[in-house]
Structure 1
Amino acid sequence: MRAPHALLLFTSAFLFVNAGNVRYTDCGSSVSVHSVSVEPCQGTPCSLTRGSTATTQISFQAGQYAGSSGTVEVFGIVRNSPVPVNLDSPQICGHVQPNCPLQSGQWYTYTKNMFIDVSYPAMPLNVRWVLKDSHGGQMVCVEIPIQLV
């Protein structure tokens, strides 16, 4: 009887740890990307409601000294064309743990809350996140399939 309980406990812990992790496509990262999560997501594509806030987390390992002035760019990929999304704070520092400066070999988690404007059309699209180092070099590039509802 203990084995089924242990299996249930393990399965529950696994699901809790992986809640929000999404399938993504690497689009040219120069560093190791460990995971990408979007809350609230329950599957692929990730359904996000217009007029709500979504939290994206990207865990990565800095490959070289990236400094304290890295930037973030976000694009909605519509009909294979990138459409820039304005960020209120496009700096990596202030949104990453552990804090900047980014050191070679260290693992970091970038976290960003974004309001999904109601003016965006309900549609499927990919969202591309690009994290650049202090020299403008691309460190992370991931695309996440999203369904705006």
Structure 2
Amino acid sequence: MTVLSGVLWLLLLSSVASATPFSNCGFTGALLDVKVGDCDHLPCVIKRGSTVPMQVRFKAVQEIVSMKSMIFGLLDNIPIPLDYDNQMCSQMLAGRCPAKAGQELTYAVDLPVAADMPAVGITLEWHITDQHDATVLCALVPAQFT
């Protein structure tokens, strides 16, 4: 193994190891990984009064002209809005809109968590829709606010 291939292998392992476990909530797209802060096991522990960096990497399965990102906290299956971005395409870390089918895209958001948020277990639901309000991706991540 050359030094370059060894370095690339280590970078690949570190990016995989730092991904947050998630479950699919009813989409057929190509969700590659989700990151919630430095969480690599569930539930993700999130400190109240903090801002949590979140990132999602996915592949477009069809042409996407525009997207909206919505993050909810599900408490007893009741959705509590935590973040909304209807200009998601202008905030992409990798890729851009319009996106062609098969194009890899990365989007990040800083999720503010209110200090008065109850110290409870909650499921984060990250839902992204396209210009037709069709689901591009949906991911569920169990979390614990402390």
Asked whether the two chains share a fold, i.e. TM above 0.5, the reply is: yes
Q: 1:14: Cα distance to partner?
A: 6.5
Q: 1:95: Cα distance to partner?
A: 2.3
Tell me whether 1:145 sits opposite 2:142 in the alignment.
yes
Tell me whether 1:111 sits opposite 2:108 in the alignment.
yes
Which runs of no fewer than 5 residues in structure 1 stay unpaired? 1-8
Q: 1:91: Cα distance to partner?
A: 2.5
Identify if the C-alpha distance between structure 1 residues 34 and 109 changes in structure 2 by more than 3 Å, giving closer, same or farther.
same
> Equivalents in 2 of 1:52, 1:135: separation in Å?
33
Q: Give the fraction of aligned pairs with identical amino acids, expressed as a percent.
A: 28
Contact 2:48 2:145 in 1 (8 A): yes
Contact 1:70 1:135 in 2 (8 A): no
Which runs of no fewer than 5 residues in structure 2 stay unpaired? 1-6
**Residue equivalent to 2:4:** none
- Normalised TM-score (structure 1): 0.83
> Equivalents in 1 of 2:105, 2:126: separation in Å?
15
When Rg is computed on C-alpha atoms for both structures, the one with the higher figure is 1
Aligned residue for 1:104, secondary structure, equals coil
Alignment of 1:1-149 (within 5 A): 16-67=14-65, 69-87=66-84, 89-96=85-92, 97-149=94-146
Q: Which amino acid aligns with 1:57?
A: Q
- Normalised TM-score (structure 2): 0.84
Q: How many residues align?
A: 139
